[in-house]
Structure 1
Amino acid sequence: MKKADIFEFYSRLAEHNPAPRTELEYGNDYQLLVAVVLSAQATDVGVNKATRALFRDVTTPAHMVELGEERLKGHIKTIGLFNAKAKNVIALSEILVRDYGGEVPQDRDILTILPGVGRKTANVVMNTAFGAETFAVDTHIFRVGNRTGLAPGKTPLAVELKLDKDTPAPFRRDAHHWLILHGRYVCKARKPECWRCIVADLCRYKPKTPAPA
C-alpha cells in the first residue's frame, strides 16, 4: 500500500473511532497485564466474564499471590488453557512482588521475560497502560495487515516491524486498537464485510465481498 493510501486508511479509521480502546475490562496496570495474559487463545468477552468477580478482590500482585493458584483456577476455569494460565499468573505476580515492588515494569524487554508474557502481550501493556507506540500483532492484525496490503508479512513479527516502519506519526499511538477492532468486526476471518468497510477502496483484497441479499 502506498504512503498516501496508508495515511488515508488510518485517517478514516480515526474519524470513525477517534478514541479507540481495548475491550478488556481492568482497573489498573496490573489487572490489564493479567487480563491480556488470560486473553491468549480466548475472547475478550470470555475473559471479562471470568475476571469481573476476580478483579473485585484482586487488585495487586500481592493479592493474587495470596489468592493462590487453585482459587485462581476456580475464577478462570471457563477460559481456555486455564491451568497453564493460572500457573503463569501466580508466577509473574510473585516476580512483580519480589523484584519490582508490586509494580508493572514500563519496559517491554522486562515484561517479555515474565511467565506467560510474550511480545504481543508486552506490546499491548506498553501501549495501553503506558502510551508507548507499540504494535501488538494478534490474529486480527496479522490478517488485516496481509489482506489489505497495509503491512504484509509471513510472521507476526514481520507484520509488526512493517507497521512500525510505515505507520504515520499521528496514528501510531492508537493504530493497533483500530486494526484489531477493524479485524474483529469488519475484516472478519471467514467472510470480510467489504460491502460496509470504510477503507474498501484502499484495500488490496480481491474479490470484495458483496452485500448480503
Structure 2
Amino acid sequence: MVVESDGLLDESSLVAAPLPQEAVHVRLDVPRKDDLADLVFLANNKTVAANLAMMPHPFTLENGRALIARAAQVRKNTGLFAIRLKSTGRLIGVAKYAALEEDGTVHVGYWLGEPFWGRGYATEAVHALVDHAFTHHDMDELQGSCRVTNPASRRVLVKSGFQYRDQAMIRSIGAGGSVPIERYVLDRTVWKSLKGWGQGQ
C-alpha cells in the first residue's frame, strides 16, 4: 500500500465537508486525540511502513499527535480521515487525498492496521474516500499507487475504478530506500459511471 498513506500525511488535512463518510463496514471521520493509542499501536508496524512512502518506523506518540493535529488543517483538494469500524467506532487505519505535486495532482493514500487486512475494509474506505473527494472538490482525476510487491493494494485500487498508468520509483522511508511502484489514475467521468459501486454487497 504505497502512497496508501504517507504516514505523517504532511500535505494532508481534513476538509470542511460533511462527515462521516459511510460504507458497509467502515466509516471515515475525524481522527481524534482519543484515537492516539490505537493509531500508534497499528501504525508502528514495519510491514505497514515498508509499503508506504512517508510513514516512519518506529511510529511514535509524537508522530501520532502530529497526524491528528494535521487533520484539523483545511486545504483545497485535501482530506485526512480515520478509518473506523462502524460496529465499534475504533480506528483501524487512515485514508487521505492531497495534492502532493506542484502541478496540483491529487493522490489518494490509505493504510490499515495488520489485524484488519484481508476483510475488504480498505476497498470500502477507498470507495468512500473517492466519493468524498469528487463530491466535495473540483479535481478532474485522482491518482494512486502501490508497491509492485503489494498485490492486495493493487486490488483495492482496481476495485475502486483506478486504471493502470505506468511504473516508477519512489523513496520509502519505511523500506529504507527507493522501491518500484505501479501508478494508477481515476478520472471523474469514470467515477461517475461507477458511482453505484458497493450497493447490494
TM-score (structure 2 length as normaliser): 0.30
Look at both structures and tell me which one has the larger radius of gyration over its CA atoms.
1
Q: Per residue, is there more strand in 1 or in 2?
A: 2
Q: Name the structure, 1 or 2, with higher relative contact order (CA <8 Å, separation 6+).
A: 2
More helix by share: 1
TM-score (norm 1): 0.29
